Amino acid sequence: MSETLEGGCQCGAVRYRIAGRRPPVYACHCRECQKQSASGFGLSLPVRGRDFEVAGVTARWERVSDGGGRTSCFFCPNCGSRLYHVSSVTPDRVTVKGGSLDDTGWLRPVAHIWVSRKQPWVVLDPAVPALEKQPEDLAGWRRMLRGEG
Ligand SMILES: [Zn+2]
Ligand SMILES: [Zn+2]
């Protein structure tokens, strides 16, 4: 399905568009995502950088990721909403934070990662793949996101 998805921060100062195919959605239950979202888990949509367009001024905070790379975390400097991440390991890709989309009604995770850190009240669909930690095999992980794994 091809359509343009739109989203933005809580105050509306930063807006973005995602072109191309509708990206897959996965949920990460790690402590970093719990902190980042100030909630139970993070929702991520991996998007090609060339399909992602931002309007408005963003601020950036950087952290060292588990794989040893650096993750640049972009957010609205006015309201603080976290909007997307870019990893130094995959600089041509953007990970959009799912809850910032205008329409969140279609979001269904195709995979869960870091379920070893999951909040006990979050009950997962046994039909959806769930990894104890982060994916080790990047190619296999991408197949899983495409629903081929
Ligand atoms: Zn804002
Ligand atoms: Zn995480």
Per residue in 97-128, pLDDT (tens digit) is 999 999 999 999 999 999 999 999 999 999 99
Minimum-distance ligand to the CA of 43?
A: 2
Ion ligand 1 neighbours, Cβ < 5 Å: 9, 11, 13, 76, 78-79
CA nearest to 93, candidates 33, 23, 25, 46: 46
User: Are 29 and 113 a contacting pair, CB within 8 Å?
Assistant: yes
**17, 44, 49, 39: which is closest to 141 by C-alpha?**
44
Q: CATH class for domain 5-145?
A: mainly beta
The per-residue pLDDT for range 29-78, each reduced to its tens digit, is: 999 999 999 999 999 999 999 999 999 999 999 999 877 799 999 999 99
Tell me how far the alpha carbon of residue 91 lies from the centroid of ligand 1, in angstroms. 24
Return the SS3 of 124: coil
Q: Which residues contact 144 (CB under 8 A, 6 or more apart)?
A: 110, 111, 129, 135
Q: What is the CA(2)–ligand 2 centre distance, in A?
A: 28
Q: Where are the domains of the chain?
A: 5-145
